[in-house]
Amino acid sequence: MAEQVRSSIAADGADRRDTPLLEARGICKSFLHVQALQDVNFRVYPGEIVALVGDNGAGKSTLMKVLCGAHHADRGEIFIEGRPVTIRNPHDAQALGIAVVYQDLALVNQRDVASNVFLGREPKRGFGVVDKPRMVRESRQVLQRLKINIPSVYAQVGLLSGGQRQAVAIARAIHQGGRLIFMDEPTAALGVQEQAKVLKLIEDLKAEGTAVVVVSHNLQHVFDVADRIVVMRGGRNAGERIKSETTPEEIVRLIVGADRIRAAEVA
Partner 1 sequence: MAELVLRDQEGVGAVGGSERGILQRLRDTRELGIAVVAIAMFVFLAIVRTDTFLTTNNLIGVAQRISLLTIIAVGMTFVMISGEIDLSVGSMYGLLAIGLSEMLVTWGWNPILAMPVIILAGVALGFINGFITTTFGIPSFIVTLGMLALLRGVTLTWIRTPPFGRVGGWFDRIFGGYVWEIPAQVFWMVGVVIIAAWVLSQTRFGYHVYATGGNPQAAANAGIDIRRVKIACFMILGGLTALASCILIGWLHGVSRNHGTGYELDVIAAVVIGGTFLFGGAGSVVGTFLGATITGLLTNGLILLGFEQDTEQIAKGAVIILAVSLDTWIRRRQRIA
Applying CB under 8 A, which residues contact partner 1?
90-91, 94, 100, 102, 104-113, 115, 119-122, 124, 127-130, 140-141, 143-144, 148-156, 158-159
CA distances in angstroms from 239 to 77, 249, 254, 263, listed in the order given? 20, 13, 7, 20
User: Least distance (Å) from partner 1 to the CB of residue 142?
Assistant: 9
The secondary structure of residue 124, as a DSSP letter, is: B
Question: Do 92 and 174 contact (CB within 8 A), yes or no?
Answer: no
CB-nearer residue toward partner 1: 65 or 241: 65
CB-nearer residue toward partner 1: 84 or 158: 158
CB-nearer residue toward partner 1: 153 or 215: 153
CB-nearer residue toward partner 1: 8 or 103: 103
User: Least distance (Å) from partner 1 to the CB of residue 92?
Assistant: 11
User: Least distance (Å) from partner 1 to the CB of residue 108?
Assistant: 4
For residue 19, give the amino acid letter. Answer: T
CB-nearer residue toward partner 1: 189 or 252: 189
CB-nearer residue toward partner 1: 86 or 144: 144
User: Least distance (Å) from partner 1 to the CB of residue 145?
Assistant: 9
User: Least distance (Å) from partner 1 to the CB of residue 32?
Assistant: 21
Question: Do 66 and 29 contact (CB within 8 A), yes or no?
Answer: yes
User: Least distance (Å) from partner 1 to the CB of residue 239?
Assistant: 31
> Which are the contacts of 17, defined by CB distance < 8 A and separation ≥ 6?
none
The secondary structure of residue 149, as a DSSP letter, is: -
3-state DSSP of 24-92: EEEEEEEECCEEEEEEEEEEECCCCEEEEEECCCCCHHHHHHHHCCCCCCCEEEEEECCEEECCCCHHH
User: Least distance (Å) from partner 1 to the CB of residue 146?
Assistant: 10
CA angle 257, 259, 261 (to 5 degrees): 75
CA gap 70, 88 in Å, rounded: 8
CB-nearer residue toward partner 1: 110 or 193: 110
CA distances in angstroms from 265 to 94, 115, 140, 254, 258, listed in the order given? 47, 55, 55, 16, 11
